[in-house]
């Protein structure tokens, strides 16, 4: 497991202080994937560099299985690092080495003998589905294959924690899916605590058990995926259940109401139930449905026509345990 506590990083630029990280806290238990999502400039890269101790945090604790990486130095830090595998956006493989020798590099540092290195590298390459390519050089591989090698290399020393820095941002959508599935499968198989830093919602939707939203160096929203998505109006809920733009909907007659429908057993019935209750139609102006972490979420924006008022509809939903809110009203409402 990995636990980050009150992580701060302050850069001094001439006379100005830049707070790149302002007290970040995260915990990723074993056998789970936590996503940190944020826009460029939110502090994602600094967070990765500080957790991997490529940059020293100004203050705070980075604990991997109980060892505080910020407190150990030189040889102890190098040993502690073997518990933490890092996957980079561009894989950062060594072009001068074959695929197998890339995977064996961390073992070489750990003083593992040649024969054992070779067999372990072969085993790891089998794990990521690249057993055939052991003797190839990285330049001969596709981007997705290179990332697989990067993952195998990160797992060479049998770490407990996998830190993935934008692991799929340089890949096409199909390859992104394959790499994410691989990460999820390895997590389950090896019981890894995986921390994924990304700007892609796809990554969060596909593999994360929990998620944090990073903004200006702070975690502004955080929690299990179903909880943050199920929180009506939260930033993560709105981004993960993004609605397509609905032209002219807001100026429509009456008003619009937004409903967050959570179908624990896969059924989304809030809207039809309401429609039957009021005996009217609710024209849908925008909608999205996602199945995340085993739960189906529906977000509807519907038109409420006079004489029914949007507030009345929202009131009905709230009374029935469905989160809803008024997004627009026009003067024509009584």
Partner 1 sequence: MIDFLTQLAANPVVTNALWPAFLETLLMVGVSGVATVVLGLPVGVVLFVTQPGGLAHNRPVNVVLGSVGVNITRSVPYAILMLSLVPFTRWIVGTSIGPIAASVSLTIAAVPFFARLVEAALREVAPGKVDAAHVMGSTRFQTVWKVLLPEAAPALVAGVTTTVVTLIGYSAMAGLIGGGGLGRLAYNYGYQRFQPDVMVLILVILVVLVQLVQWAGDAVVSKVDHR
Q: Binder to partner 1 among 82, 199, 218, 235 (CB under 8 A)?
A: 82
Q: Specify the 3-state DSSP secondary structure of 206.
A: helix
| Footprint (CB under 8 A) of partner 1, residues 148-187 | 153, 157
- Contacting partner 1 (CB under 8 A), which of 26, 36, 50, 84? 84
Work out how close the CB of 158 gets to partner 1 at its nearest, in angstroms, rounded to a whole number: 13
From 56, 79, 114, 264, residue interacting with partner 1 (rule: CB under 8 A): 79
Give whichever of 45 and 237 is closer to partner 1, judged by the CB atom: 45
- Least Å from the CB of residue 199 to partner 1: 18
| Cα distances (Å, whole numbers) of residue 217 to 30, 43, 47, 260 | 25, 5, 8, 29
Residue placing its CB nearer to partner 1 in the complex, 138 or 230:
138
CB of 312 to partner 1, least distance (A): 58
CB of 202 to partner 1, least distance (A): 23
C-alpha span between 155 and 35 (Å, rounded): 19
Q: From the list 9, 81, 146, 187, which residue makes contact with partner 1 (rule: CB under 8 A)?
A: 81
Question: Both tokens of residue 41?
Answer: 């400039």
Peptide bond into 307 cis (omega under 30): yes
**DSSP character string of 13-52:** ETTEEEEEEEEEEEEE-TTEEEEEE--TTSSHHHHHHHHT
Nearest approach in angstroms of CB 176 to partner 1 is 20
Is 88 an interacting residue with respect to partner 1 (CB under 8 A)?
yes
- Residue 184 is encoded by which pair of tokens? 């999820």
Minimum CB separation from partner 1 for residue 98, in Å? Answer: 8
Nearer to partner 1, 165 or 209 (CB): 165
Q: What is the pattern of x (binds partner 1, CB under 8 A) and - over residues 89-128? A: -x-xxxxxx-------xx-xxx------------------
| Residue 206 touching partner 1 (CB under 8 A) | no
Q: How many residues lie near partner 1 (CB under 8 A)?
A: 28
Q: Alpha-carbon distance 95 to 93, whole Å?
A: 6
What is the DSSP track for 140-195? Answer: GS-HHHHHHHHHHHHTTT--SEEEEESTTTTS-HHHHHHHHHHHHHHHHHHT-EEE
Q: What gap in Å lies between CA 232 and CA 34, rounded to an integer?
A: 21
* Nearer residue to partner 1 within complex by CB, 193 or 211: 193
CB–CB of 130/148 below 8 Å? yes
CA atoms of 77 and 83, how far apart (whole Å): 10
Q: Which is nearer to partner 1, 153 or 206 (CB)?
A: 153
Nearer residue to partner 1 within complex by CB, 163 or 274: 163
Nearest to 44 by CA among 266, 209, 177, 203: 203
Which of the stretches 118-126, 137-145, 267-275, 292-300 binds partner 1 when contact is defined by CB under 8 A? 137-145
Task: Return residues touching partner 1 (CB under 8 A).
Answer: 52-54, 77-79, 81-82, 84, 86, 88, 90, 92-97, 105-106, 108-110, 137-139, 153, 157
């Amino acid at each position: 497991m990995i636990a980050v506590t009150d992580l701060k990083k302050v850069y001094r630029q001439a006379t100005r202080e830049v707070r790149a990280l302002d007290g970040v806290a995260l915990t990723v238990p074993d056998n789970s994937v936590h996503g940190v999502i944020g826009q460029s400039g939110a502090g994602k890269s600094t967070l990765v560099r500080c957790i991997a101790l490529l940059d020293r945090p100004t203050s705070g604790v980075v604990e991997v299985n109980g060892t505080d990486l910020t407190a150990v130095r030189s040889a102890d830090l190098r040993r502690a690092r073997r518990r933490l595998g890092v996957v980079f956006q561009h894989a950062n493989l060594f072009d001068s080495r074959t695929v197998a020798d890339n995977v064996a590099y961390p073992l070489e540092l750990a003083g593992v003998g040649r024969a054992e290195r070779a067999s372990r590298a072969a085993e790891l390459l089998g794990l990521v589905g690249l057993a055939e390519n052991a003797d190839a050089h990285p330049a001969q591989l596709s981007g997705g294959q290179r990332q697989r090698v990067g993952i195998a290399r990160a797992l060479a020393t049998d770490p407990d924690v996998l830190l993935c820095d934008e692991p799929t941002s340089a890949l096409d959508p199909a390859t992104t899916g394959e790499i994410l599935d691989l990460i999820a499968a390895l997590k389950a198989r090896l019981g890894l605590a995986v921390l994924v830093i990304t700007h892609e919602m796809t990554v969060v939707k596909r593999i994360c058990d929990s998620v944090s939203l990073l903004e200006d160096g702070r975690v502004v929203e955080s929690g299990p995926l179903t909880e943050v998505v199920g929180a009506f109006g939260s930033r993560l809920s709105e981004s993960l259940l993004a609605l397509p733009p609905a032209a002219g909907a807001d100026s429509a007659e009456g008003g619009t109401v937004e409903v967050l429908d959570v179908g624990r057993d896969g059924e989304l019935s809030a809207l039809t139930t309401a429609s039957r209750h009021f005996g009217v139609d609710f024209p849908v102006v925008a909608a999205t449905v996602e199945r995340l972490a085993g739960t189906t979420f529906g977000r509807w924006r519907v038109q409420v026509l006079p004489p029914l008022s949007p507030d009345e509809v929202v009131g009905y939903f709230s009374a029935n345990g469905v989160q809803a809110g008024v997004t627009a009203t026009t003067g024509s409402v009584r």
